[in-house]
Amino acid sequence: MLRWLKEPLLHFLILGALIFLVYGWMSNERRPDEIWISSGQQDNLINTFTRTWQRPPTPAEFKGLLDDYVREEIAYREAMAMGLNDDDVIIRRRLRQKLELLAEDVASLSAPDDAQLQAFLDENKDEYLIEPSFSFRQIYFSPDLRDDPVVDSRALLAELQAAPESVDYSAMGDPIALPHRIDDARLSEIARVFGSDFSTQLAAVVSAQIAGADGGQASAQEIGQAGQAKDQGTDQTIGQWAGPLQSGFGLHLVLITHHVPGSEPSLEQVRDGVQRDWFSVRRREAVDSLYQRLAGNYTIEIEPLEVGLSAEAANVEEAVK
């Protein structure tokens, strides 16, 4: 019983009935040819003007607001009397929008508790995963400036792996409008700059180095990525230069200096986003539930399309059925 009383659709129907009764009562109190502007409506005009212009209206401006409101009411009543709203697509869409907004507002009345948010997070955890981040150094080899950038990059890689860590790599390779040093960049950010192929290879290098450092005791995913890195000719010794990696610009040697693996966040880390998405889902469910229930009040018939339609139109008809 209590669960039924908390049903958002029940609240929507009760609120709609109250609005209908109040509107009917007010309509019966006034003649059809009478336009009544209440004090509440006048306050709304003043408040709207004040929010827009950051000051209250002058007496002349307020008179203009009242005149415009009267004109709007007259236009509305005359247009309805003339049937100008019949079969008007814009009006139909606007009325649908208002109906759905009312249902969404009712669904948003009650805020979720932590248990509901945690359950929502558990059901949709893939959407809130914290991306892995990387800090690395890169040396670029241009395919336009070199006859064989693969050979050149591998030759330099051998030198770097044998050189001390303090070697000045910034002067090596070819010029590019990208920094030699990238710090704490998320994988998606790296993909946007260097391309998705580069970010995939970079993650594979990390997995390969982790697998090598663990003596081969790595997860199946890490081992698979390590194999991919090996096939691409990347170095698997942790803390050393690796490559070459292919990007949208050319080839790169990379030295990964810091890596934070991806993780599942706690509710506190993503509370705002989870709550926002929870409300979004509940509003959508409220609208869907409203239409499902109201559709029971109607007999819906779809006239078959004429013979000789194009194959595409026939497919549309079949999909509707």
Q: What is the pTM of this model?
A: 0.55
Instruction: Give residue-wise pLDDT tens across range 152-172.
Output: 999 998 888 887 666 778 788
The Cα–Cα gap between 184 and 260 comes to 8
Q: What are phi and psi of 141, to 5 degrees?
A: -125, 115
Instruction: Give residue-wise pLDDT tens across range 310-320.
Output: 555 555 555 54
**Which pLDDT score, from 0 to 100, does residue 63 have?**
92
Token couple for 56: 């209250």
Token couple for 64: 């203009």
**Which pLDDT score, from 0 to 100, does residue 230 have?**
40
**High-pLDDT (> 70) share of the chain, %:** 76
* Residues in contact with 154: Cβ distance below 8 Å, sequence separation at least 6, in sequence order: 233, 244
Instruction: Give residue-wise pLDDT tens across range 250-297.
Output: 999 998 888 888 888 889 888 999 999 999 999 999 999 988 888 888
Helix/strand/coil for 49: helix
Compare 88 and 12 and report the one with higher pLDDT.
88
Q: What are phi and psi of 313, to 5 degrees?
A: -65, -35
The Cα–Cα gap between 206 and 211 comes to 9
Would you give the DSSP letter of residue 244?
Answer: E
Sign of the CA dihedral 193, 195, 197, 200?
Answer: positive
Residue 176 has pLDDT above 70, yes or no: yes
